[in-house]
Amino acid sequence: MSLRPLIIDTDPGGDDAQAIMLLAASGMFNIRAICAVHGNVGLEYTRRNALYLKETAGLTCPVCQGASEALIARQPRAAYAHGNNGLSGLEFEVNEDKISRKHPWDVIYDEALHWGGELEIFAIGPLTNIAITLLRHPDLPNYIKQFTIMGGAATKGNSGAYGEFNIAQDPHALKICLSAGFKKFVMVDLDSCRTAFLTDEEAEYLDNLPMSNPWKPLYDKFAMAQRERRLLMTEEQRQKMGFPKGRGGCDAASAFVLAHPESAVLEDYFCLCETRSTLNFGQTIFDWRGRFREKPNVTLARSIDRDAYAAWYLEMLHSYDGGIES
Ligand code: RIB
Ligand code: CA
């Protein structure tokens, strides 16, 4: 089966790192570029994190940097969740001169034309880069086979009461994407991400990777951050705040849905995004009963097969145990 050409737009971010680890190991994708965007932390961090993750995954694609701010307005960032540098304080060296001089809005469109309708986009941060690409090239959706995002929340948000972080960082960008006319727009939202997690027993391996696994330095930082979080918050408080049971990771769960949609429940809905209210800024509103009389514009993930997710996650991470060919 031929590899699926893919652009990853990301704001690394610990769960972004896991998504890149998973997709690079899956053997299913021809990853054409990793585009950094503002989000969990500022672009000055996400661009170098993207470079580090690309090298750790053994990828050879370009890393480019896009928007450092939302189009119009955003909510506060998420250093509380990902550490001040976005990767739980992991220290690493990268040569930022290796960051491509081309911007995502040029790379995405050039790749879209090159692949003649086969290119997919996987966006796991705020959608600012994608929105700018659409504003500059309104015909982009004609050349995109599938646009998959981690974003939105059917019920409980994590940025305000209803907003999901990626969308609340740039709701105007989602609004542009929702009306752009993508042939297939898959939205893996917070609610569905909460159904995909590793149990503590399964996560034992993550906290004890062999020295030969290139992800060990980062996963050791994740384990430390996890222990600190568990000291500050009981499991019951975590559940109340909408965290998944066990070891979740929204972008990792979204990568699984991208690779294995057969392991998720997917339903088509018409979706809107709130961009004015201060109360529910960034909320994704789904027309559950068809009252808006509009054609569905998203395919929403409703749930993910947890066992299948956990097995795939562990298999992908194990595949690095012997190291990567340099
Ligand atoms: O709400 C979760 C999303 O926001 C994830 O993509 C995480 O990395 C943050 O960007
Ligand atoms: Ca992210």
The residue behind tokens 């994590």 is 158
Q: What is the per-residue pLDDT across 299-314, written as a single tens digit (0 to 9) for each?
A: 999 999 999 999 999 9
Is residue 158 included in any domain, yes or no? yes
The rounded distance, in Å, linking the Cα atoms of 320 and 214 is 7
Report how far Cα 72 is from the mean position of its chain's Cα atoms: 21
Check if the beta carbon of residue 50 is closer than 8 Å to that of residue 107.
Answer: no
Atom of ligand 1 nearest to the CA of 12: 8
Is residue 187 included in any domain, yes or no? yes
Q: Is the CB of 164 under 6 A from ligand 1?
A: yes
Overall domain count for the chain: 1
Is residue 323 included in any domain, yes or no? no
Is residue 59 included in any domain, yes or no? yes
pLDDT at 282 over 70: yes
Smallest-distance ligand from the CA of 282? 1
Atom of ligand 1 nearest to the CA of 39: 10
The residue behind tokens 């054409």 is 32
Give the β-pairing of 264-269 and 4-10: unpaired
Distance from residue 163's CA to the centre of ligand 1 (Å): 11
Q: Is the CB of 39 under 6 A from ligand 1?
A: yes
Q: Which domain holds residue 134?
A: 4-318
Q: What is the per-residue pLDDT across 93-148, written as a single tens digit (0 to 9) for each?
A: 999 999 999 999 999 999 999 999 999 999 999 999 999 999 999 999 999 999 99
Give the model's confidence band at 213: pLDDT under 50 very low, under 70 low, under 90 confident, else very high. Answer: very high
Smallest-distance ligand from the CA of 248? 1
pLDDT at 79 over 70: no
Is residue 97 included in any domain, yes or no? yes
Q: Is the CB of 191 under 6 A from ligand 1?
A: no
CATH number at residue 79: 3.90.245.10
Which residue, judged by its Cα, is nearest atom 1 of ligand 1? 165
Q: Is the CB of 165 under 6 A from ligand 1?
A: yes
pTM of the entire predicted model: 0.96
Is residue 82 included in any domain, yes or no? yes
Distance from residue 290's CA to the centre of ligand 2 (Å): 30
Distance from residue 14's CA to the centre of ligand 1 (Å): 9
Q: What is the per-residue pLDDT across 167-203, written as a single tens digit (0 to 9) for each?
A: 999 999 999 999 999 999 999 999 999 999 999 999 9
Distance from residue 42's CA to the centre of ligand 2 (Å): 12
Atom of ligand 1 nearest to the CA of 16: 8
Is residue 326 included in any domain, yes or no? no
Backbone angles phi, psi at 56, to 5 degrees: -65, -35
The rounded distance, in Å, linking the Cα atoms of 41 and 82 is 8
Give the model's confidence band at 51: pLDDT under 50 very low, under 70 low, under 90 confident, else very high. Answer: very high
Check if the beta carbon of residue 24 is closer than 8 Å to that of residue 58.
Answer: yes
